[in-house]
A and B are shown apart, each in its own frame.
Chain A
Amino acid sequence: MTFAHPALAWTALGAVALPIVIHLLFRRRRVPLEWAAMDLLREAVRRTNRRTKFEQWILLVLRALAVLAAGLAIAVPMASDELGLQDRRTTWMVVVDNGATSQLVTDGESSQSQQASRELDRLLDEVRVALRARGERDRVGVMTAAARPTVVLQPTADMVEVERVLSRVTASMTPSDLEGALRLARETLSASEFDTEGNEAASTRELRKIFIASGFRRGALREGQVFGQTSISVDDTTQRATQDDGPFLQDSIEILATVPASDVPTDVRIRSLEARMLPSGDALAVRVVLAREGSDVRAEESKVGAFADGFASSTQRVVRWDAGQTEATVEFQLTQESATARTSQAAISNRQDQRRAVRVELSEDRLRPGNNAYTIVDVRPEIEVGVVGRRGSLDTADLEKIPASLWIARALSPMVGGGIRVREIDPSTLDSRALLGLDAVILARPDLLATTSMETLGDFARAGGVVVVLPSGESLTQSWSAELFPRLGVGLRFTGDVKVLETPLRLADEQPRTPLLSTVRPELDALSSPVEANRLVECTGFTTGEVVLLYANGLPLVVAQSPRLDQQNAVVDVTATSKTRASGADSEASTPNTPTFKASTPLDQTQRADSRAGLIVVLTSAPELSWTNLPVKPLMVPLLQEIVRAGLQLAASRDEVAVGAVIQAEPSTTLQVVTSPIAEPPSGTAFRDPSSQSTSEATLSIGPDGAALDVVPVAGVWRSENQLVLASNVREDSIALTPIAAEELRAAFAPVGGMTWTASSENSKEDPARMTAKAWSLWSWPLFVIALLALLTEGVLAKIFSHMSFHRAGVSESTVSRGTGLRGTGAILDRVRATRGGAS
C-alpha cells in the first residue's frame, strides 16, 4: 500500500507504541508504598489479575487501533488493489515533460540569465519529492515527453543513477508529446513485466505507476485532446487521414501527475514571418507578426530585429505594447548588399543559389522558444513565366477574340523591366526542355496538351514550380481535367461542362484571406467588386482554405493547392507551417475533403522537406472577355502577378517545417543547422544569447527510406550536402502557456483510467484550489470511521469495566458522589461511626 504522506504513515505506525510506552512509563513511575495488609492485597490481586489483564489488553488494543487508524487515514493511503499485496514492488516510469513550455522562466523576467529557474527545474523537484514515497524495492525509469518521447533510463533500483539522469534532463524546444510518452511508458512498463527469462510471473508481484511531471500548459495538450483515442488512417475516397491504435493503457497502470500550473506569465512570440523580394529586386520586405500571451498584458516594450544573408541587417525595432494589446506587426526592408546583388544576377539559373535564409529575432523574455523565426526567400530579381497557348495577336477591334494567353502575357509583363519575363510556349511543344529555366507555367490551353506534357508539367510542379491552370476558353467541355489534375498531383476536378450564365455572376463582397493575395489584401475587395463572369466551370476537390477568390454564389474563381509527392502512398502532408502561422489558426484541419489528422500528435506528424513542392493554381473562368470581364478590370494585373510571385514564394517557404516534426527528404542525407551565413546580430545587442550556441551543432539524419531518424530538434535553418535548405520554426500552439483546466485534464485522462494529482506541499500552501484537487483516498474515510469506532468502543468498555468494578465492590452512585469511597468501605467505616455515635 502506498501513501500520499508516507512519513505520516510511519508516524502512525510508531504511534501505535504510544499507549504501550505510556503504560511502561507509568509502570516505572510507580511509587513505593509500605503496606500492612499485604495478605489481603495479594489475594485481591490474585482474584482480579486475570480479569484486569484481559480488560487492560482490550483497552490497550483499542487505543492502539484508534491511533493507528487515525494516523493511516491522515496519511492518505492510495486506493488501489494493493491491499494485502505489500510484498509487491512498484515500477515507476517517470515522464518528465521537457517540452518547449518547460523552458518557461518561473522566477525572473528573462531567460537570458543562466541562473534563471525554469519550470523544468520545478517539475524535476516535484519528481524527486514524489520518488521519496517509493518503496525500497521499487524500480524507477525516466523518460522525456518532448517530441520525440525517449526513455532515458530503463527501470532500475539504482536511485543514484536515477538522480544522475534527472539532473541531466534539459528542456527541449520541441513540443510536448504526452500521449506518445504515455504509450512509450506503457510499452516500457510492459516490457519490464518480464524477467530475464521471459516469464510473466514477475508481473504478478509488481505494480506499475506512471508519474507525469508536467506543467500541463496548453502547449502540452491540444484543446479537446483525449488520450488513448488517437487514430490515423487515410480513406481513399475522402482523403481523410485517421490512425487506429489498439487498446491504450487498458491494464492496471496507475497514473500520477503533478498539479497543473496556475499562472499565465506574459510572453511575446513571433506568430508569423513573411519575406519577399520587392519588385525592384534590390530589397527584401520582411513582415513579422508578434503575439503576446499572458494574464496581465501590461504596457511594455519588445525589441525585434531581422537578418538575411546578403542583406544589410536592420536596425532594432522597438515594439511598444499597449495594455491589453496581444498582436503587433513589424515590417522591415532589408537592402541587398551590392556584391551579393551582382552574384545573384549571374547565378539566375540556379534556383537553390537564389534561396536565402531570413531570421527574425525577438528580445529575450520568459520563454525563449518563439523568439526566433526563420524562413527561406527566393531573391531572384526576375521571374520567367511560360504561357502555354496558341499564338495570337492583340486585335483591339475585337477584344472578345483575344485569347487568354495574350491577356495573361500582357498582365504579367505590362512593361519592360517589371520583373517578370514571359515566354510563349506552344502546347504541342511542351516538354522538359521547354520548361527549362521557367519559374511558373500558365496553362491557357490545357485541352491541347499531350499526356506526356501533362506528366512533364507534374514534374515541374513537384520540382517547386508554380502551374496556373485555366479552363480552355474555346471549348465548352473540360474533359481534359480528369487527366491533367491527377498528373499534377492535386485532387481538384472540373465537373460537367462550362456553365453559361444568363446573368453575370459577381465576385463576393468579402474575399478569403489567403497568403497568395496578402500583398493586395487592403484593396482586394475594391478590386474584385467590378469583376463579373458569364461562364464558369464547377470545381471540386478543394477545401475552403484553398480558395483564393470567390464568386458571390460561393463558387470559387481561383483555387490554390499543393501537389502531393506520391498520391498512391498517401503520405500525410501536414498543412504548411507558414500557412498555419500566417492564418493564425488551423481551421483547415477541421474542414472536409482534405487529408488531416483526426488527433495527431507531434510525433505523428510527417512533413515533406522537399524543395520540389510547388503550387497548382486553378481558375474556373478563363480570362477572356467571352467568359469574364476580368481581363479589362484592374484586378487582372495584380492577380496574375501575385499568383506568380506569391506562389513562388509560398512554394519556397514550403521548405519550412515545424520543430518536433518528422521530415521526409532525400534518403541517406544529413542536414545541419546553419548559423552562417545567416547574419549574426552585432555583439552587445539584446539578441545575443550565449546559451543558444548549443543549437549550432544540431544535425538531422535522413534514413534510407527518406524519413528523418529524429524529429527536428531546434528552430533554425538547415542545409544538406546537396544544398537542400530548410527552415524550422517553433509552432505557436506548442508554446501556449495557458494552463489546462483540471476538468479538461480529467476528461483527457479518463479513457486511460484517470489519474491522481500529487500536490507538493509548497504548491498546496500557495493555492487552496490545489488542495481540493488532491485526490482523497478511498481508504481514508473507512480508516477514520474505524478510529472513531475504536475510540467509542474503548470509552464504552472502559466505562463498563469501571462500573463492573464498582458493582463488584458494592458501590452505589450516590456513595461515590459523596466521595466517601466504596460501599464496602462505607460499611466498615459506618460500623466505626455507629460505634462512636452510640456513645454520644
Chain B
Amino acid sequence: MTERAMRAEQYLAPETLGQLAPFELRARMIVEGVMSGMHRSPYQGLAVEFAEHRQYAPGDGIRQMDWKVFARTDKLYIKRYVQETNLDVVVLVDCSNSMRFGTLSMKRGWGGTDASRSNDRWTKFDHATACAAALAYVCLHQGDRVGLGLFDEELRTQVKRSSQRDQWRAIVGALSGQPVQRKAQLGRSVDQMLSRVQNRALFVIVSDFLMGLDEIRTTLARLTHRGHDAVLLQTLDRQELEFSIDQPSRFEDLEASSASSDVAQALETDPRAVRAAYLELLREHVDGINRIARGLNADSVLCDTHESVGPVLASLLDRRMHFAGRRGG
C-alpha cells in the first residue's frame, strides 16, 4: 500500500463512514445529468413521473398544458414532471493561511496535511480536507461525479469531475499534498472554477469564511444565478468559537504577509476584555452567512474542528434528503 493510499484510508475513518452510510446525497434542486441516477433531472418533459402543476405563463409549450384541469377549473396549468439524474459535485476547499489555525492536539491515525505537519495540531484545513474527502466518498459511492478545487488567492489545484473508482484517491491525494499559504480570495477562485463547470452542479465550499460578508454574498449569488446548488461548510476551531484565552496575548495575523506593515498589525490585547465583543461579532458573522445562504437557497453548516466530521456531514445529508423527499412527495 502506498503512502498516499494509506492516507486516504485514514481520511475516512470507519466511524465516519458508518455515520454517513444510511444517507444518500441528494440535490435539493433538479440537477442536469447525463447519467440516470438518484438525483432529479431538470428535464421534466421527458420523464413520466408527475411533479407538480404550475400556472401557465406566456411562452410555455401548449403540449405541456393540463387540459383536464382547464376543463374543470377554467384555468390554465402546466404539468411538470421529474426525472432522477446523476449529480455533479464540486468541492472547493480553502487552503489559505487562515486555515492553518488549530488548537486540538493531533492523535495517531488522524492523518495530516501541510497545515498540521508544522505544529502537530488538528487545523481547520485538516478538518476541511476530512469533510471534503468524506463528501467525495459518499458522492462517488452513489455514482455521482465529484470534482475538487483547492483555492487561496486563486484556484490552486483542481481534480476534474469523475465518477470513476480511483477518483476518491485522486481527491485525497490532492488534499493531503496541498500547501497552505497566502490569503483567501473566494470570489476569484469560484469564478475560476465556474469557468470550467458548464453544467449544473452542487458546489460544496469548505472554508472558515473569515472574509467579508459582501464577498461571500457576491460569490454565492454568482453560483446560484448560474443555477448551481451550494453548500457552505464553515469550519472554525473551538478556540475561535469560544475565545477562552485567559491571558494577555499578542495576536499575529495568520494571513499577514512578510511585509512589515502586516507584521505591525499584530494586536496586543487582553482577550478577557474583548471576549464579549469578539463573540458578538462572530455571532453576527455566522448569522450573516446563514442569512445569505438562506436568501440564496443555499445550505450553510458550521463545523467545530474539535467535533467529529461524521455527525455534521450526516446531519447535512439528512437535511438534504428530507428536503428532496418533500419535494418529491
State the A residues within 8 Å of B (CB): 26-27, 29-45, 47-48, 52, 56, 805-806, 808-811, 821-822, 824-825, 827-829, 831-833, 835-840
Contacts and interface: CB of A to CB of B under 8 A. Distances in A.
B248 A27 contact: yes
24 contacts: A29-B248, A34-B101, A34-B251, A35-B253, A36-B124, A36-B237, A36-B240, A37-B208, A38-B254, A38-B265, A42-B267, A43-B281, A47-B274, A48-B273, A805-B276, A809-B277, A810-B280, A821-B244, A828-B241, A828-B283, A829-B242, A832-B307, A833-B307, A838-B315
Interface of B: 19, 97-101, 124, 208, 210, 237, 240-245, 247-256, 265-270, 272-283, 285-286, 301-304, 307-308, 311-312, 314-319
A836 B278 contact: no
A806 B276 contact: yes
A769 B321 CA distance: 91
A828 B248 contact: no
Given A38-B267, A41-B267, A811-B276, 17 more contacts: A30-B247, A30-B248, A33-B250, A33-B252, A34-B254, A35-B267, A36-B98, A38-B253, A39-B210, A43-B281, A45-B274, A47-B281, A48-B274, A821-B243, A829-B304, A833-B307, A835-B315
Contacts of B237: 36
Contacts, number: 170
Contacts of B316: 835
A833 B241 CA distance: 13
Contacts of B282: 37, 40, 824, 828
B238 to A, nearest CB: 8
Contacts of B210: 36-37, 39-40
A346 B100 CA distance: 131
A48 B277 contact: yes
Contacts of A811: 276
Contacts of B307: 832-833, 836
B101 A44 contact: no
Contacts of A29: 248
A808 B269 contact: no
Given A37-B210, A835-B302, A827 B283 contact: yes
B100 to A, nearest CB: 7
Interface secondary structure of A, over-half rule: helix
A32 B249 contact: yes
Contacts of B280: 44, 808-810, 824
Nearest to A40: B281
A497 B278 CA distance: 121
A27 B311 CA distance: 42
Contacts of B19: 839
Nearest to A56: B273
Q: Give 10 nearest A-B pairs by CB, closest first.
A: A809-B276, A836-B311, A839-B315, A839-B314, A824-B279, A44-B277, A44-B278, A36-B98, A36-B101, A35-B251
B268 A27 contact: yes
Contacts of B274: 41, 44-45, 47-48, 52
Contact of A838 (B208, B269, B318): B318
A825 B251 contact: no
A822 B279 contact: yes
A551 B32 CA distance: 155
Contacts of A810: 276, 280
Contacts of A840: 311, 314
B251 A835 contact: no
A839 B318 contact: yes
Contacts of B275: 805, 809, 822
Contact of A34 (B100, B247, B248, B318): B100
Contacts of A35: 101, 251-254, 267
A36 B255 contact: yes
Contact of B281 (A36, A44, A806, A839): A44
